[in-house]
Structure 1
Amino acid sequence: MSFLASNLRFLRKQKDITQTQLADQLSVQRTMISAYEDGRSEPKIGTLKKISEILEVSVEELLFHDIESQGRKAAQKRNLNILTIAVDEEDRENILLVGQKASAGYLNGFADREYMQGLQQFHIPTLSKNATYRAFELAGDSMLPLIPGTIVIGSYVDQLRDIKSGKTYILVTQTEGVVYKRVFNYIADNGKLYLVSDNEHYKPYDVPAEDVLEAWEAKAFISTDFPNPGDKKKPLSLEDLGDMIQDIQEDLKRLKARD
């Protein structure tokens, strides 16, 4: 069963796009959009791909997922990954450390028990025992004042829909690999997460939720670099970050309108 007609009508109205505006972007008559939404006609594959881009939804979700009644597919409860963990002789769960060199292989090895057992392990008794933790060594300067080489410890997030906007997370993604960013959750709106660097020289970007393999909420960090009061910079506020995200969204809309 195809949900194209109802999804098209629902997503178009959600984005406040008229039938005429959508028709202009697709280079078809407005009556054709009406026919699509009434189920009297179906678009060709090329037009279908353009519709999915404009509405920021995959073709598969547009056709086969009832978005209006069930919400975005990415916001649904997902099957949990079976995490590989390590315990010490007292049966306490250790923290596995993914170093900079190991991060490249983590994308393929995070579900491989042999690979995971080869990672360094340590234990921090002050962390809550009600969560599973993993540590990742940062590379690059996108999250200053945390410098390259800083180790960020994150707790496992079962469901992506539980990600809190404005908090920092380590994400393991199919497209970007392992990244540490401040995340804004727009899964319910468009199925995406917006990733923002605390270093303003790096532009925010979005990642489809279905590309995220693992998410770890940052809980602590270990660094050999001590803060220098003379080097203090005004941190970006959540309001500043929100404005940055809004600017990015407006830019995306303008680019799509040109297409």
Structure 2
Amino acid sequence: MSFFGKNIKKIRGVKSLSQQAFADLFDLKRGTLGAYEEGRSEPKIETIIKVANYFSISIDDLLTSELTVNQLLRFNDNITLDPEDLEKEHFATVPCITAKNYQDYIAHFDNEFFVKDMPSLSLPINTEKTFRGFTVNNLEMTSHDKGFYPKDIVIGELVPNKVIQKLNNGTVAFALINDHIILRRLYTTENGIVLRADHKNIDDIKVTLKEIKQLWRVRYVFFRRVPELTDSFEDKLALIEAQLKAIKNHDSL
């Protein structure tokens, strides 16, 4: 069996031709062309020659190997590239909870049609796992000018309820509980979890596993602001200590 059927189908994609339009070019019936593409029938030699000449492709290439898009573009400059025919890396689509859809998400979080219609991010992360984006809306996870600020976006990986208590204490997560979505650090207890803020003077929230409708472990973060790139106080202190140590060692020589 030749590669003729696969190749004419790829040519159609690159040229943006329907089966009927392609068939009309070579005085073929649409059903006949479909049979060629599906490998149910082989073309006459006259048809092969017509197709090869029309697209400036050698008969040998047309019949004996599966053509690539790059080959087709080199064969004939008049063939236009159909973006759908390109091999693309598939990114994960991450629905994002925003200030505008916050309440709607709480009401319809388990409705797949609502979730598909949410604004989303396309990210090069594991496409086999389920992720959700959440736009930070308060200062509960800030401490000494560090942490998450309003309009930062955290990306969470869905954690099954039976796995929640196996998470490490201090894991940052956001959970849908009753009519709120809460972003905090998670600490496990015998009967449930404690959600603790990084900001001072904010009380812990204790919940049972039954109260948790969804919980997402934070895996990635998009900061709205540019992080401070200057040396921290701790880094500067360590540098001073290293310099003092070097001076002492020099004096002892």
TM-score, length-scaled by structure 2: 0.50
1:107/1:172 contact within 8 Å kept: yes
Spell out, residue by residue over 1:66-106, the C-alpha distance to the aligned partner (whole angstroms, 9 max, x if none): xxxxxxxxxxxxxxxxxxxxxxx987541101112212221
List aligned pairs for 1:160-239, cutoff 5 A. Answer: 160-174=164-178, 177-186=180-189, 189=190, 191-228=191-228
1:12 equivalent in structure 2? none
1:33 counterpart residue number:
none
Which residues of 2 match residues 1-259 of structure 1 at below 5 A? Answer: 93-125=92-124, 127-144=125-142, 145-158=147-160, 159=162, 160-174=164-178, 177-186=180-189, 189=190, 191-228=191-228
Which amino acid in the other structure matches residue 205 of structure 1? Answer: I
Q: Whole-Å Cα distance in 2 between the matches of residues 181 and 228 of structure 1?
A: 23
Say if 1:167 and 1:183, in contact at 8 Å, map to a contact too.
yes
Unaligned residue ranges in structure 2 (runs of 5+): 1-87, 235-253
Q: Contact (CA 8 Å) 2:91, 2:123: kept in 1 or not?
A: no
User: How far apart in 2 are the matches of 1:199 and 1:166?
Assistant: 14
Mapped contact 2:188–2:194 kept (Cα < 8 A): yes
CA distance in structure 1 between the partners assigned to 2:233 and 2:108 by the alignment: 38
* AA at the equivalent of 2:129: A
| Structure 2: distance between partners of 1:149 and 1:107 | 19
The change in CA–CA distance for 1:196 and 1:231 in structure 2 (over 3 A counts) is farther
Write the deviation string for residues 175-215 of structure 1: whole angstroms up to 9, x where unpaired: 5x1111101011xx2x1210100111312121122100111
Could you say if the C-alpha distance between residues 229 and 91 of structure 1 is closer, same or farther in structure 2, counting changes exceeding 3 Å?
Answer: closer
Shift in CA distance, 233/118, structure 1 to aligned 2, threshold 3 Å: farther
User: How many equivalent pairs are there?
Assistant: 141
Cα distance in 2 for residues equivalent to 1:181 and 1:231: 27
Identity of aligned residues (%): 16
Does the C-alpha gap of structure 1 residues 172 and 231 become closer, same or farther in structure 2, counting only changes over 3 Å? farther
Q: Secondary structure at the match of 1:219?
A: strand
Q: Structure 1 pair 151/167, CA: closer, same or farther in 2 (3 Å)?
A: same
Q: Distance in 1 between matches of 2:233 and 2:173?
A: 22
> Displacement, 1:116?
1.4
Which structure has more relative contact order (CA 8 Å, sep 6+)? It is: 1
Asked if the contact 1:157–1:163 (Cα under 8 Å) also holds between the matched residues in 2, the reply is no
Q: What's the Cα RMSD here?
A: 2.5
How many Å apart are 1:128 and its aligned residue? 2.8
Post-superposition offset of 1:108: 1.3
Q: Distance in 1 between matches of 2:221 and 2:132?
A: 11
Deviation at 1:217, TM superposition (A): 0.4
SS of 1:123's equivalent? strand
Task: Note if contact 2:140-2:199 (Cα within 8 Å) is conserved in structure 1.
Answer: yes
SS of 1:116's equivalent in the other structure is helix
- Where structure 1 has 5 or more consecutive residues not aligned to the other structure, the ranges are 1-88, 235-259
Distance 1:138-1:115 versus aligned 2 partners, 3 A rule: same
For 2:137 and 2:233, the matched residues in 1 are separated by 21
Q: Could you state the TM-score of these two structures normalised by the residue count of structure 1? A: 0.49
Return the offset for 1:233: 8.9
What letter is aligned with 2:215?
A
SS of structure 2 residue aligned to 1:213:
strand
